Amino acid sequence: MKLSLSVRVAESFGNKRVSAIPLDELAGLAAGAGYDALCMRASVVGVHSEPGSSEDVRRTVAAHGLTVSMVTADFAVPENSAEGPDSLRNITPSLDLAETLGAGLIRICMKEEEDIGHAQRAADEARERDIRLAHQSHTRSLFETVEGSVAALKAVGRANFGIIYEPANLALCGEPYGEDTLRAYQPWLFNVYLQNHTPEPDGTFPMETWTRGEVMSTLRPLDAPGGIDFPAIFDALRAIHYDGYITMHQAFGGDMTPAEATRRTASFLRGLI
């Protein structure tokens, strides 16, 4: 397993469009903490960016000995808005960005059954460039539940279309996220996202779901006690012989600085690996 740091660590929980620190600084922090890659998002570079920006980003990442594990090419996908699936209708700009960054995986969004056909056509175009597409386990999407996720993956039916397993969103929807879930996802498992975000009645973050309505939740540091059972997840990943990226995907806001979050989570995840 390899460690990837999502640039989300430098975003606030509520604003996914702005990075709090320059990429060169963040890449240096990631490399110093022992990460192998950065997971790139539109807060740093996206399909909206000025010409030449993606080349600059690739050079900066490479200068620190890192690669780009995955690309989220626009804002609508991580914001999970109604416009999230739009990139599937014109995947070419996202493919251009991923290719320039040297990334072989793009995160996409699907919210309705009609998105399946668009995902098939986008995956077919991506296959011509040897690029894969993946959907994160996420609230308010076709990938809210384990059963719904597997059904969507089978419906798309493309070898280069898979899932980003993320246990926190499954927990928010009242879904199991242990070994049985990972085995169900195994044929399509392209990435693993980790954040310590769990449903709790006295939590401070209201989260909207389709399966359970509004769910109150708590966001903890990744290495804090309580919350997601990370040791059990890593036992399950070893059981299915997963050897891809483990991506720290959490916004820490005012709880700790990006530098502290990067160092602490790297140490925590290396211990689990």
The CATH number linked to 260 is 3.20.20.150
Give strand pairing partners of 246: 3, 192
Question: What's the pLDDT at 250?
Answer: 86
pLDDT at 255 over 90: no
d(Cα 9, Cα 102) in Å, to the nearest integer?
21
Averaged pLDDT for residues 193-202: 96
pLDDT tens-digit profile of 62-110? 999 999 999 999 999 999 999 999 999 999 999 999 999 999 999 999 9
Residue with tokens 């056909």: 117
- Phi and psi at 21, nearest 5°, equal -135, 155
Tokens of 238: 């070893």
Per the structure, the complete domain to which residue 262 belongs is given by 2-272
Tokens of 150: 């597997």
Q: How far is CA 249 from CA 98, 130, 148, in A?
A: 19, 25, 23
Averaged pLDDT for residues 249-254: 75
User: How many separate domains does the chain show?
Assistant: 1
Q: Say if residues 209 and 172 touch (Cβ distance below 8 Å).
A: yes
Averaged pLDDT for residues 234-249: 97
β 37-41/2-6 pair status: parallel
d(Cα 259, Cα 262) in Å, to the nearest integer?
5
Question: What's the pLDDT at 13?
Answer: 62
Single pTM value for the model: 0.96
* Segment among 39-48, 126-135, 203-212, 248-257 with least mean pLDDT: 248-257
pLDDT tens-digit profile of 115-148? 999 999 999 999 999 999 999 999 999 999 999 9
Averaged pLDDT for residues 190-203: 96
Return the DSSP state at 50: P
Tokens of 89: 């209708």
Higher confidence at residue 260 or residue 119?
119
pLDDT at 192 over 70: yes
Give the three-class secondary structure for 136. strand
Above pLDDT 70, what percent of the chain?
98
Among the listed residues 249, 258, 269, 261, the one whose alpha carbon sits nearest the alpha carbon of residue 39: 249
